[in-house]
Each structure stands twice: as C-alpha cells, then as structure tokens.
A and B are shown apart, each in its own frame.
Chain A
C-alpha cells in the first residue's frame, strides 16, 4: 500500500512538477506571512519580523530544495536537466557534434550493415527443419579426394536406394540450370526452372502451401516414349510453383492446382504451390520446380556420366561421420559393380557449409575491416572529447568552485557522451540501411544468401550495444579527467601548457598513432587486393571479350525438334551477322572462363599415345558444342586445319576441333589433323586446332574438344549461349539483335543480354566485392586518422600560442615554426606506420586466400600505402602548422 502511494506520489510530483512548485511557493509564503504576523503581535518591529521569519524557516530556497529532495524524483529531474544541458552544449559546438555524429554513424552503421550480412550468410541456420541433418553429396576420383564433382544418375539411384543413413535423398539439376518460357497473355516470359528428384521436398521437409509435392512416378515420363538422351530432362509434366509465380500467373487463386501452365510450349499441370518465403537452398530465384527423370539411372552405361547434384537428409540420430562410413563401404561395392567407375568415391558435406563455404572468408574479412573502422571511430571520438574536455577545463573549474559536485560534473560529461552516442546511433541506422543495400548491390550475386538482407531486431540490439559501449569507451576518459580537475590550479594557471597538458598531449598522440596504424593496415590490405584484381584483369583468357554481346537463347522442344534446332541456331547467327556493325555471331554450350561443364571420358585412338594406358578412359576433357561463327566472334584463332562448315551435319562422320594444348599433349610430335579419338562414347576425327581458352577467370588452361551443333543437335537441347561481336559497344546492338530474333520466331525470349566481359568476369566478382568494401573502409579509416591528427595538432598549436608568440617576437622564422608543427605530425605518423606495418603483416595472412599473383607484404603495395598515408598526414598537419605562424606576437603575449 505504502509502496503504491510512494510511486503515485513520485509520478505525480514529476508530472505536475510545475504546479507542485507553485503550490510549494504559496505554502511557504503563507507560512512566512503567518510567522510575521505572529511575531508582530508578540512585539517585534515590522521590518525585523519579516527577516526573523525567513531566518526561522531557514531560507525559502533551501527549504524548497529540501522538499524537492524529499519528493524522491531528484535524480530524474537532474537526469532530465543533464540531458537538456548536454543537448544545449552539443548544439553550441556544432562542428564538433557534426563530426562526432558523422564518425559514429559511419562506424556503427558500417558495422551494423556488415554484421547483418555476416549474420544472414554465416550465422543464421538454413531455414529448414533440423538443418543440421542436411548434407550435399559429391563424387570425386580417388586421386582427387577434395574435388566436389557431380554425380552420375546410376550412382545417385544406388545411394538413394541403398543408404540406410539417408532419410531421403534427391537429385537437383544445378548442372544445367534451366529456363522455361512461360506463355502469358502478354507474350512469352522466361522463368527459372529447377529440375529436382521426387523426394526433394521430403529432404527439405518443406511442403506445398496448396496441393502436394512430387511422387516417385513423376520421375518417369507419363507418355512413356523413349527419346534417347532427351530422356535426361524428361519427367512427368507437372510443376510446383513458387508463391510469387502463383500470385503472378494465377492471381493467387487456390483453384490453380490442377490447371495447366504452358512451359516451353508444353502443358504442365500445376501440382502445388510452395509456401510464401520458401527459398530454394541450392539455386537462388527459382520460380518453379519440375520433376527430374530417373530413367538414366536404370541404364548402366550412364555410370560415368556426371551431371547430378545430390542433397540428402540424414536420419535424426545419424551423424555425418557414420553416414560417410556407410557411403565409403557402398562406394567400394559400386566400384566392383561398375568397372567404368571403379575409381569413384563420394563425400558428404554439411549443406550449409557447402553453400556458404567459399564466401565465409570474404565475410570474415568484411567483419574484420568493419571492426577496425569501429575501433578507429571510438579512438577518434575519445580524442575529440579529450580535446574538447581540455578546452572546457575552465568551465568545469569554475563550476566546481561555485559548488558543483565532482560526481555531477563527471556524470554530466558522461550524459553528454551518451546523448552523442544515441544521436550517432539514430544516424547510424540510416547509414546502416544505405550500407546494407549497397552491400547487396556490391555483392551482385557473388555471395550466397545475401539477397534477403534486412535490418533485424537482433542486429538493432547489436547496434545499440555498440553505441553504448562506445559511449562508455570514449565517455569515460574525458569524464574521469574532468572529475580530477582542481579548480584552484586551473583558474589560477594562466599558462596552459602545464605538466598535465603534456601528459595528456602524449595520450592523445598515442591515440593518433593507433589510428594511423589501423588505417595503414586497411590501406595495405586494400592495396594488395587492388593489385590482385589488376593482375586478374591482365590475364589472357584466350578470348577478346571487348565489344562482344552475350545472351541466352532457348529453343523450346515443343516447337523445335533436333533438326529444327540445328537449323535455327545457324539461322540466328546468319541473320545477326547481316545486321550493320556486326563482325561475327555464334553460340556455345558454355562460355569460356566460366568454369568446367561437360567433362567427358575421352580415349585417344590414334597417334603415339593411342595405346598408352594413362590416357585410356581418362575423364575431364572439356567438351563444347558451337554454332555459327563462334570462334571468330570471341577471338579464338584457328591454328591448323579448318573450322566447322555447313557440311559437318548429322549425316557426316564425327568431326571435332580441339584446343592447342589438347593437340600438343595427346598427339606429341605428329600432325593432329585427321587423328582419331573417342569422347562422350562416340568416335571422331580432328579437323582443326584452335588457340587455348582459360577454364576460369584465373587463367587455368584446360583441354577442349569442340563439336559442331549442326552435327550434335540430336544429342540434347543444348540451349546455346549466343555471342555477337560488334564494331561498337555491346549495348548499342541489343535492340537490333532482339528484332532479328523476333523476325525469326516472335515467341523466342532474348534472355539476359550482357557484355561478354561482364559475364566471363564473374569468377572475380567475389574478389571485386571484397575489394570495393575494403577500399571504402580504408578510405573512411584514412579520413578518420587525418581528422585525428588534425585535431591533436590544432589543439597543440592552441596550447602553445604563447610560446609561438614569444618565439616570433624573438625573431623565429615562420617557416621554422611551421616545420616544428609539421615535424610533430610526421613523427606521430611515422610511428603509426611502423606499428601498422606489423599489423599489415598479420592481416595479410588473413587475406592471402583472396590474393592473386601478389605476395603478402609486397613492397610496392606497402610503399604505396605508406605514401598515401604520408601525403594525407602532411595535408592534415599543414593547416595547424600554417595557423601556428599566423599567431600575432602582441596578442599572444598580452
């Protein structure tokens, strides 16, 4: 009861503070009047009565103060006062406040954004039930146990049926990501299709929001017709829609299940709709899932045909190690069952690690850089507040002399820091939002799971935590110092350069040294990355990507059989080549420098190595199918023999063009033309040798065998990527190319046009992303350390105004004084650089994996970074140095 009335009274006092104060004044006035009257009646003179009454009460203001204390709201009122006072002080020091809030916003905002990214990609578990049980299965040869290779349909079927450790397993066609042309009232639209095994949703434990998932029978073509190798891509014509495609195509109609959707000109029955927010774990941006055929798995000849991705869910109590042991035993049995695949093994990886693996280092680097910047921000603020504290020493001394308690002064400074931190945090939230969208854009698909970055409550708490910690961090130093100020000393001392100032000047210089060192580490790291990216840009990929437009063109099976496809791709190239400004046009099954694709078992049938067992049945020769004038369009040179021509069609004997390294390696000392080989199960004769191309962006050369699409169209629908070499910019030709395709078939989709240079540079995207991020951080760090140096030197100059005045009066040259200040700045910078060098040596170990043809601690890079630092430091030191020379001796000495 009494606690309640206590609280009610306190709150009332707070809320009605004004009327309380008024009533108190009235009450005390009444008291004094009564007392006065009483005293006059007892004989005191009129004038004395008032005085005596006030004295008897003990002073009106004192009583008021005591009553305020008694109300129990004092601490809050003081707090409100402190906050209001802090806000006033900060508003008055506009420049200081702006810089402080800005640095805080950048530091906290940057860290928050980066933390969101790290959280989204690395820390958040996969959004599926018991995600720890999800694994990805890769095949590898005994010789290369670390490789993560695709799985043959034969082995996939065996794993799925025989592994007791698996609760479910499913194939995914990440090997050849598919587009589907969906017929809409407005024409044809391309969507992203993913072919998956029937148990895919069983593996993920995600079930359709409407309708149901696939069944095993969906893995067999309902029509039952055998279509040769096309069988690989044949399942039942049923489709699971993503929530967004359902909303778009069927206006979120629940009755959509059972209706048909025309994909690639063929009707697909909608089987179900995935729940909103479902994200495919393996391929991003999937619009629809269709079943993958199981037929190839029943054909033992497919035991060396690797094209399946496989994910599985382990049984609840099964560890990945136990599952791996079972898998090893099964691989041994399979090796004896399928002699053509006897060196094959398989390995399980946690699904999350597999998805995130390659980018975790990039994110850790980002986080490291962000933390360095945050530390810099805190150091900078401590410095700013120290300088400001020194400037306000007199103010505090005066207040202490007038009776302000020390604890209150300390508290007030502390409140100032907290107010600053909160203002900074609000600004930081804005910066964080901007930085997060910048990260998503910068990442540009190079980092998985980053597309759905959002400011989360946890991240918000993290941000607030950082703000509070920095407030304590930088608020403590100046506040404690202010608490020690001796009013006597400060008020009396005219000379400002006392011993305490020297000591604190040293502290501030130390902080600046730390700033310079940290900034140098970031500068050196981004310098090393810049060098790496430049080296990558200088690599000869074997193609000339300048002025080449690349795009995708899919010919739907429903309207194009193999003969029509063979004709159509040649016709597309021919028509585009007739456009003004086009030099050459063609197509290929996989663009160069974008990674491995059709690695087929290849046997040399003639020449000196014909019977060499080392080359018998070796896997891993890259096979490509080309159309039109592909070689000329991308700048691959013919070295021997001839390229494909119209005569190399399905009726002609098998002919291939090979790369120079292939010819040199497998036909040493003989003319490769007319030599024979077997690849992908068929025999061929070599008709030409072309220059090498790189397998990836880092310039790794591999063996290539090229087939003519006119001859190979019957094998499967190759969905060739098209390239167009122009005399102008790739973009300038886009509209004309689109028009040329439309005249051929208005229902074809001109998909994903982009300059070839961008497409084949994708391997470097992650590196470029890290580079951009680190460079921005380094720039911020550089700016902060310059600011710190400037602040310290400026204050130093201010302290020594008198000294400079005396020196000038005694005839010192302006240049000498300038040199003095400059030297002071450069000494601090030099010490920072030396320490930073050690830091860079440490940091370079972390970024070693991101470097390319750059030694960690490459002298040129370090020298460059040091030079940048020195130039910026000199600039930052010059202004205070110049100001030192503008001291007027007379006014300084007065």
Chain B
C-alpha cells in the first residue's frame, strides 16, 4: 500500500456507492473496486464497512437487490439503484458540490480578505 492512498471521508461512502450504481448495477466486490479505480486508486474502501452500508441503503429504499450470474458464470448479489436512490444521489450530489466548492474557496484563499484587513487595523 502506498502513501498516496487515503481513507474515505466520513459519510461519503454511501454517496460514492450511489454514484457507482448510477452507472450500472453491480455486486459488492465490484462496487468496492469501482470506487477505488474511479478515484485513481486514491480512495481505499474499507471493504468490511461496505456491506453494512448496503443493508442500510436497502432499508432506506435507495437500492434493490437481485441474484444474477456474472460474466464469469458465478452467482452474485447485484445492487441496483431505485428511483428513490436516484433522487437521493442527485440531492447528495448538489449538496456535495456546494460544500466542496465552499471548501475549495476557503482552501484557496491566499491573502487576508479586505474586510478582515480593515477591521484588524
């Protein structure tokens, strides 16, 4: 494991799973690896926390499950986004966009804003 890998941000796992499943239905192992590869191997999904998260999401009605045969002719449980899951994804997506933009703004500030400067003197 290289140093460049990092743990997922708290609370983002479900959003990433939703995003992954929005592309196509997938089984648990596939989801984990898809997240990892989509983040260019930056994010390390704790595989153990994935399955409880999937159960919670199913309880909320965001995903539904079915047993299908993989391309390697194995039986696997596939997860698929429901309409509610899609709605949830877009809600989380816009919330994330707002939040990350704001965080970026803050992180990119290089000088003391004018207002602060005035009050500080």
Assess whether B52 is in contact with A31, with CB atoms less than 8 Å apart.
Answer: no
* Complex CA–CA separation, A632 to B49 (angstroms): 102
Task: Encode contact with A along B46-90: 1 for CB under 8 Å, 0 otherwise.
Answer: 111101110110111100000100000011110000001000000
Assess whether A58 is in contact with B47, with CB atoms less than 8 Å apart.
Answer: yes
| Contact residues in B for A404 (Cβ distance below 8 Å) | none
* Complex CA–CA separation, A648 to B59 (angstroms): 103
A-B contact count (CB 8 A): 72
User: A70 in the interface, Cβ–Cβ < 8 Å?
Assistant: yes
| Contact residues in B for A59 (Cβ distance below 8 Å) | 48
| Segment at the B interface, from A2-10, A493-501, A740-748 | A2-10
Kindly identify which residue among B53, B59, B76 contacts A30, using a CB–CB cutoff of 8 Å: B76
User: A26 in the interface, Cβ–Cβ < 8 Å?
Assistant: yes
* Complex CA–CA separation, A28 to B28 (angstroms): 9
Task: Encode contact with B along A25-59: 1 for CB under 8 Å, 0 otherwise.
Answer: 01110110111001000000000000000001111
User: B34 in the interface, Cβ–Cβ < 8 Å?
Assistant: no
User: A1 in the interface, Cβ–Cβ < 8 Å?
Assistant: yes
Assess whether A70 is in contact with B29, with CB atoms less than 8 Å apart.
Answer: no
Interface SS of chain A: helix, strand, loop or mixed? helix
* Complex CA–CA separation, A250 to B52 (angstroms): 75
Decide yes or no: A63 and B48 within 8 Å by CB, A1-B61, A5-B59, A5-B60 being known contacts: yes
Assess whether B51 is in contact with A66, with CB atoms less than 8 Å apart.
Answer: yes
| Contact residues in A for B67 (Cβ distance below 8 Å) | 23
B17, chain A: closest CB distance, angstroms: 13
Assess whether B76 is in contact with A27, with CB atoms less than 8 Å apart.
Answer: yes
Assess whether B60 is in contact with A35, with CB atoms less than 8 Å apart.
Answer: no
User: A18 in the interface, Cβ–Cβ < 8 Å?
Assistant: no
| Contact residues in A for B55 (Cβ distance below 8 Å) | 67, 70-71
| Contact residues in B for A6 (Cβ distance below 8 Å) | 59-61
* Complex CA–CA separation, A66 to B58 (angstroms): 15
Interface SS of chain B: helix, strand, loop or mixed? helix
| Contact residues in A for B51 (Cβ distance below 8 Å) | 24, 27-28, 63, 66-67, 70
Task: Encode contact with B along A62-96: 1 for CB under 8 Å, 0 otherwise.
Answer: 11001101111000000000000000000000000
| Contact residues in A for B49 (Cβ distance below 8 Å) | 58, 66
Assess whether B75 is in contact with A62, with CB atoms less than 8 Å apart.
Answer: no
Assess whether B61 is in contact with A72, with CB atoms less than 8 Å apart.
Answer: no
Beta-carbon contacts under 8 Å, B1-48 to A: 27-30, 33, 46-48
Chain B residue nearest in CB terms to A71: B55
Chain A residue nearest in CB terms to B88: A2
| Contact residues in A for B27 (Cβ distance below 8 Å) | 27, 30-31
Decide yes or no: A5 and B74 within 8 Å by CB, A57-B47, A57-B48, A70-B52 being known contacts: no
A601, chain B: closest CB distance, angstroms: 91
Decide yes or no: A5 and B61 within 8 Å by CB, A28-B51, A71-B55 being known contacts: yes
A63, chain B: closest CB distance, angstroms: 5
* Complex CA–CA separation, A34 to B76 (angstroms): 11
B14, chain A: closest CB distance, angstroms: 12
Chain B residue nearest in CB terms to A33: B74
| Contact residues in A for B61 (Cβ distance below 8 Å) | 1-2, 4-6
* Complex CA–CA separation, A30 to B51 (angstroms): 13
B44, chain A: closest CB distance, angstroms: 9
B92, chain A: closest CB distance, angstroms: 14
Assess whether A2 is in contact with B52, with CB atoms less than 8 Å apart.
Answer: no
Kindly identify which residue among B58, B77, B84 contacts A27, using a CB–CB cutoff of 8 Å: B77
| Contact residues in B for A30 (Cβ distance below 8 Å) | 27-29, 74-77
* Complex CA–CA separation, A35 to B56 (angstroms): 23
Assess whether A2 is in contact with B60, with CB atoms less than 8 Å apart.
Answer: yes
| Contact residues in B for A26 (Cβ distance below 8 Å) | 75, 77
Chain B residue nearest in CB terms to A7: B59
B112, chain A: closest CB distance, angstroms: 45
Chain A residue nearest in CB terms to B30: A34
Kindly identify which residue among B46, B47, B77 contacts A23, using a CB–CB cutoff of 8 Å: B77
Assess whether A35 is in contact with B48, with CB atoms less than 8 Å apart.
Answer: no
Decide yes or no: A31 and B28 within 8 Å by CB, A2-B61, A5-B60, A70-B55 being known contacts: yes
| Contact residues in B for A62 (Cβ distance below 8 Å) | 48
* Complex CA–CA separation, A848 to B76 (angstroms): 83
* Complex CA–CA separation, A26 to B47 (angstroms): 16
* Complex CA–CA separation, A63 to B76 (angstroms): 17
* Complex CA–CA separation, A9 to B59 (angstroms): 6
* Complex CA–CA separation, A57 to B45 (angstroms): 10
| Contact residues in B for A34 (Cβ distance below 8 Å) | 29-30
Assess whether B52 is in contact with A66, with CB atoms less than 8 Å apart.
Answer: yes
Assess whether B48 is in contact with A58, with CB atoms less than 8 Å apart.
Answer: yes
| Contact residues in B for A1 (Cβ distance below 8 Å) | 61, 84
B36, chain A: closest CB distance, angstroms: 11
B12, chain A: closest CB distance, angstroms: 17
Pick the most buried of A5, A23, A28: most chain B CB atoms within 10 A of its CB.
A5
| Contact residues in B for A71 (Cβ distance below 8 Å) | 55, 59
Assess whether A10 is in contact with B59, with CB atoms less than 8 Å apart.
Answer: yes
* Complex CA–CA separation, A71 to B14 (angstroms): 16
* Complex CA–CA separation, A833 to B63 (angstroms): 71
Chain A residue nearest in CB terms to B67: A23
Assess whether B76 is in contact with A38, with CB atoms less than 8 Å apart.
Answer: no
Chain B residue nearest in CB terms to A62: B48
* Complex CA–CA separation, A781 to B77 (angstroms): 64
Pick the most buried of B27, B47, B67, B75: most chain A CB atoms within 10 A of its CB.
B47
* Complex CA–CA separation, A515 to B49 (angstroms): 56
* Complex CA–CA separation, A419 to B102 (angstroms): 57
| Contact residues in B for A24 (Cβ distance below 8 Å) | 51
Assess whether A66 is in contact with B48, with CB atoms less than 8 Å apart.
Answer: yes
Task: Encode contact with A along B81-106: 1 for CB under 8 Å, 0 otherwise.
Answer: 00010000000000000000000000
A19, chain B: closest CB distance, angstroms: 11
A81, chain B: closest CB distance, angstroms: 20
Beta-carbon contacts under 8 Å, A497-532 to B: none
Chain A residue nearest in CB terms to B64: A5
| Contact residues in A for B59 (Cβ distance below 8 Å) | 5-6, 9-10, 70-72
Chain B residue nearest in CB terms to A31: B29
Interface residues of A (CB under 8 A from B): 1-2, 4-6, 9-10, 23-24, 26-28, 30-31, 33-35, 38, 56-59, 62-63, 66-67, 69-72
Known: A23-B77, A71-B59. 7 other contacts (CB 8 A): A5-B61, A26-B75, A31-B28, A34-B30, A59-B48, A70-B51, A70-B59
User: Top 7 A-B pairs ranked by shortest CB distance?
Assistant: A58-B48, A5-B61, A70-B52, A70-B55, A34-B29, A66-B52, A9-B59
- Would you give 17 A-B contacts (Cβ < 8 Å), ordered by A? A1-B84, A2-B60, A5-B59, A6-B59, A6-B60, A9-B58, A23-B77, A27-B27, A30-B75, A30-B77, A34-B29, A38-B33, A56-B47, A63-B51, A63-B52, A66-B51, A71-B59
